[in-house]
């Protein structure tokens, strides 16, 4: 075989037609590629993707095919030399048939905390990608490039990347346009590093706040989750359904299909005791909307089982519903180690090899993150347990993803662009996202804080609490260049207009609250009681107390193993935080509770006794600035809850779109939530008029437009979210008491009135009948509109045949 050598060309150049592939780097480099490949059709970018895939697939050996559908993460050390640099010789020895995917190139050594094993900086990460890609494209037989993936739930989970609010905070914006912009910036920062795939968004409908992963979701409502999911994918991949990526975009991964958000006992990976009807009504719709309306080319199966069948073994779920009913054409990827879980956890396979066979035949195409389930598939084919055609289908889908992502044409990073990550544009967008995510839950007039313009006595503000002087980012976090803590933000915003005093009050958990750490130990009670006494002494000098309480990244998180738990039986504040609040409240001063958390704030004492309550979630790198601006009235909170907040665990499950026979009542307690779905106040006041319909009667299969007049009756500009709900009055099967079918966030100046028109699509009127067919039944529907799911005005609509 003959080869040619040439100097590396500028980034973005491709000489595939001549058997050459440009390999840019920090310095000029020389690469060699087999001359025999120069005329292979799969290198010809002018050909249709399908033709290129089939040409390449026909040239591959069975071992090369299997190599494409496995990933490496844990074994990174085996292909790296001193300094954690990629080693081509080790890679060739360990993976002679190539590498399909490499997980998280920003990580140095597989699963480990970046606080223990620091992530690669931008330059080192890019060089790692270049070195691995050069090896794959010039030293493996067919030159198939590697697909790199990273996490990007609320920002690229890498060093020097912009950190946005956690997903539940982004959902609280009720602003799909903003979510689209955020994910577009995430795609830009990710693509510049030579990474073409991300493991987001999460469109699990979350119905149990005990579940630690609720922070990763867009909440409890399938319509809201679906709209946010569509916006996320459009931001990452671009608008439309044409599967090829535009420049600067990355492949999204839709996860986790499905039922993951209501696990038995609220514990992660627990069985989803959910009927087919509930799956179709509540859990499937967000996935279906993303599949049908976007370019999505990767769907991740969920850890849980449904009716005794784990999702990774569920042919009905992955083949009949996803690919059959919805027409999905892309790849199905496993969740991390989930194929092995079918042997280790679910016990439906005797070993990993059999688990891999089951998963492949059920419709799983790619094994993440290490390939332990799929590594023996070549043997399975040779011994007749798996047809090679099943391998071909999986490889075909993965190769299609690689071609659509442009990996065969220009896979290279852009160092100059990557070094601008988390620059002014990202910081500004992170600040805007944080501002829009804030939800004002209660206010008796304590907010906004009144500060003198000058000349009068300066007030003293006590900033107290374990979450005051830390910028909590939540799970799957990245490392922004700088973060602003609430205390820092308040000091900067106040300037010399007030005296700021501070005390921790309590320590929630001992030591560092790193999401990656396995053990979780609550703070020492005796020491916390001492801290409370100290905080009370500090607060005695203050005119107003701002108390930052809630959770840490450890006290509610993904419980990914028996030794790494994250779910809880209780919903209230942990440790001595309620005692801290009670002690401060006893001083008789206004207490503003600022909640920093990743799960719904079921804090009944705080809700009843605080003078104001501001929910901030994990608000990203600019949280301190946004929170300070909200407290001082520089911005007006306008977010809304994407979940119903239960009063206690005894009310669970608690969601607004329940069936008519639910919530009859309890002895000695109430069925009402602490805060309803869609709740959120403002520093101004809004008057919403009765909804008006574009037609009082429509034919089945038609939509209708609901118009709601909204007036800002207060003295400040502010945002209101107009929410439209629907109820089917008489139906052949039971239907929810109300369902969200449309919404729009609007900004109004004082005294301004706007007629907000919200289109309701025909799908809103559909149901699954007794034959499990999706139909529209003629009849009367009640259309409701308001500022939350409880304070609604209604009008009736007739749907005819």
Distance, CA of 65 to CA of 467 (rounded, Å): 50
- Cβ atoms of residues 681 and 441 within 8 Å: yes
Quickly count: other Cβ atoms within 10 Å of residue 605's Cβ: 16
What sign does the CA torsion over 528, 533, 538, 541 have? positive
Query: Locate tokens 């990452």: which residue?
Result: 236
Tokens of 179: 């979510």
Pairing of strands 718-728, 779-786: antiparallel
Answer yes or no: are the C-beta atoms of 775 and 766 closer than 8 Å. Answer: yes
Residue 335 bears catalytic tag? yes
Backbone φ, ψ for residue 711 (5° rounding):
-125, 130
How far apart are the C-alpha atoms of 187 and 200, rounded to whole Å? 11
Which residue from 271, 312, 281 is spatially nearest to 205, judged by alpha carbons?
Answer: 281
**What size, in residues, is the chain?**
801
Cα 746–286–361 angle (5° rounding)? 160
Partnered with residue 149 across adjacent β-strands are 103, 197
Options 107, 131, 204, 335, the catalytic residue: 335
Q: Give the tokens for residue 682.
A: 């403002």
Contact indicator for 290, 200 with CB cutoff of 8 Å: no
Which residue blocks in 405-542 are alpha helix, DSSP H?
415-418, 424-437, 486-494, 525-539
Strands 591-596 and 101-103 come out as: unpaired
Structure tokens at 602: 């079921």
Both tokens of 189, joined, read 């920062």
Smallest CA-to-CA distance from 299 within 377, 201, 369 is with: 201
Residue 205 sits at φ, ψ, to 5 deg, of: -80, 120
Distance CA 320, CA 327 (A): 10
Residue 306 · residue 337 · CB < 8 Å: no
Sheet holding 697-699, edge to edge: 697-699, 792-800, 779-786, 718-728, 739-748
Mention every residue, 6+ apart, whose C-beta is less than 8 A from residue 200.
151, 152, 153, 232, 236, 252, 253, 255
Single out the residue of 477, 500, 506 nearest to residue 487, CA to CA.
Answer: 500
Query: In angstroms, rounded to a whole number, what is the distance separating the alpha carbons of residues 768 and 776?
Result: 9
In the chain, count H helices and then E strands: 21, 30
Alpha-carbon distance of 185 to 494, in angstroms, equals 31
302 phi-psi bin (left φ>0, alpha ψ -120 to 50, beta other): beta
CB 216 within 8 A of CB 515: no
Catalytic residues: 335
């Amino acid at each position: 075989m003959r080869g040619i050598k040439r100097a590396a060309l500028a980034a973005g150049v491709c000489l595939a037609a001549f058997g050459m592939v440009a390999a840019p780097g920090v310095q000029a480099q020389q690469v060699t590629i087999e001359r025999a490949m120069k005329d292979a059709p799969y290198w010809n970018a002018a050909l249709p993707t399908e033709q290129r895939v089939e040409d390449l697939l026909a040239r591959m050996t069975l071992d090369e095919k299997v190599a494409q559908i496995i990933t490496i993460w844990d074994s990174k050390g085996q292909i790296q030399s001193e300094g954690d640099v990629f080693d081509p010789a080790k890679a060739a020895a360990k993976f002679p048939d190539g590498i399909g995917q490499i997980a998280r190139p920003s990580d140095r050594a597989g699963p480990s905390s970046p606080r223990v094993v620091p992530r690669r900086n931008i330059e080192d990460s890019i060089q790692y990608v270049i070195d691995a890609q050069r090896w794959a494209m010039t030293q493996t037989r067919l030159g198939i490039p590697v697909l790199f993936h990273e996490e990007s739930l609320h920002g690229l989970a890498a060093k020097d990347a912009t950190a946005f609010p956690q997903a539940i905070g982004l959902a609280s914006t009720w602003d799909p346009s903003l979510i689209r912009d955020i994910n577009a910036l995430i795609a830009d920062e990710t693509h510049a590093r030579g990474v073409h795939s991300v493991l987001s968004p999460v469109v699990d409908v979350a119905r149990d706040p005990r579940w630690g992963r609720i922070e990763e979701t867009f909440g409890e409502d399938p319509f809201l989750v679906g709209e946010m999911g569509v916006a996320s994918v459009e931001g990452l991949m671009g608008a439309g359904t044409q599967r090829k990526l535009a420049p600067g975009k990355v492949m999204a991964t839709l996860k986790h299909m499905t039922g993951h958000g209501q696990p038995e006992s609220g514990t992660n990976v627990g069985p989803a005791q959910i009927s087919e009807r509930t799956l179709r009504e509540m859990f499937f719709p967000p996935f279906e909307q993303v599949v049908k309306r976007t370019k999505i080319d990767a769907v991740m199966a969920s850890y849980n089982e449904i009716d005794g069948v784990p999702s990774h073994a569920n042919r009905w779920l992955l083949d009949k519903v996803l690919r059959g009913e919805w027409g999905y054409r892309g790849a199905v990827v496993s969740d991390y180690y989930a194929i092995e879980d079918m042997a280790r956890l679910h016990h439906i396979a005797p070993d990993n090899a059999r688990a891999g066979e089951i998963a492949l035949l059920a419709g799983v195409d790619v094994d993440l993150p290490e390939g332990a389930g799929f590594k023996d598939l070549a043997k399975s084919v040779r011994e007749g347990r798996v047809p090679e055609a099943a391998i071909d289908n999986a490889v075909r889908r993965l190769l299609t993803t690689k071609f659509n992502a442009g990996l065969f044409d220009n896979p290279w990073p852009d160092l100059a662009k990557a070094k601008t990550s988390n620059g002014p544009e990202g910081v500004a967008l992170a600040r805007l996202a944080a501002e829009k995510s804030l939800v004002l839950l209660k206010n008796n007039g304590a907010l906004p804080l009144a500060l003198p313009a000058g000349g009068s006595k300066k007030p003293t503000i006590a900033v107290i609490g374990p979450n005051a002087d830390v910028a909590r980012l939540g799970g799957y976090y990245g490392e922004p260049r700088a973060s602003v803590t609430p205390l820092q933000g308040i000091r900067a915003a106040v300037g010399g207009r007030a005296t700021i005093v501070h005390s921790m009050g309590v320590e929630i958990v001992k030591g560092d609250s790193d999401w990656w750490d396995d053990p979780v130990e609550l703070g020492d009670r005796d020491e916390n009681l001492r801290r409370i006494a100290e905080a009370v002494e500090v607060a005695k000098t203050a005119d107003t107390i701002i108390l930052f309480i809630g959770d840490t990244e450890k006290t509610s998180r993904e419980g990914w193993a028996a030794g790494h738990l994250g779910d809880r039986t209780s919903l209230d504040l942990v440790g001595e935080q309620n005692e801290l609040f009670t002690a401060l409240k006893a001083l008789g001063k206004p207490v503003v509770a600022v909640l920093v958390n990743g799960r719904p704030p079921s804090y009944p004492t705080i809700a009843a006794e605080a003078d104001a309550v501001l929910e901030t979630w994990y608000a990203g790198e600019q949280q301190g600035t946004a929170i300070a601006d909200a407290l001082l009235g520089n911005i007006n909170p306008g977010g809304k809850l994407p979940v119903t907040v239960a009063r206690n665990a005894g009310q669970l499950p608690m969601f607004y779109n329940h069936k008519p026979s639910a919530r009859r009542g309890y002895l000695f307690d109430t069925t009402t939530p602490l805060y309803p779905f869609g709740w959120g106040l403002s520093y101004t006041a809004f008057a919403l008029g009765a909804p008006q319909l574009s037609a009082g009667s429509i034919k089945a299969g038609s939509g209708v437009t609901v118009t709601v007049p909204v007036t800002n009756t207060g003295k400040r500009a502010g945002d209101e979210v107009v929410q439209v709900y629907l109820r089917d009055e008489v139906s052949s099967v039971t239907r929810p008491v109300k369902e969200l079918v449309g919404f729009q966030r609007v900004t109004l100046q004082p005294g301004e009135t706007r007629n907000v028109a919200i289109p309701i699509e025909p799908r809103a009127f559909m149901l699954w009948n007794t034959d499990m067919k999706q139909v529209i039944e003629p009849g009367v529907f009640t259309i409701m509109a308001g500022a939350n799911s409880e304070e609604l005005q209604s009008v009736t609509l007739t749907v005819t045949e």
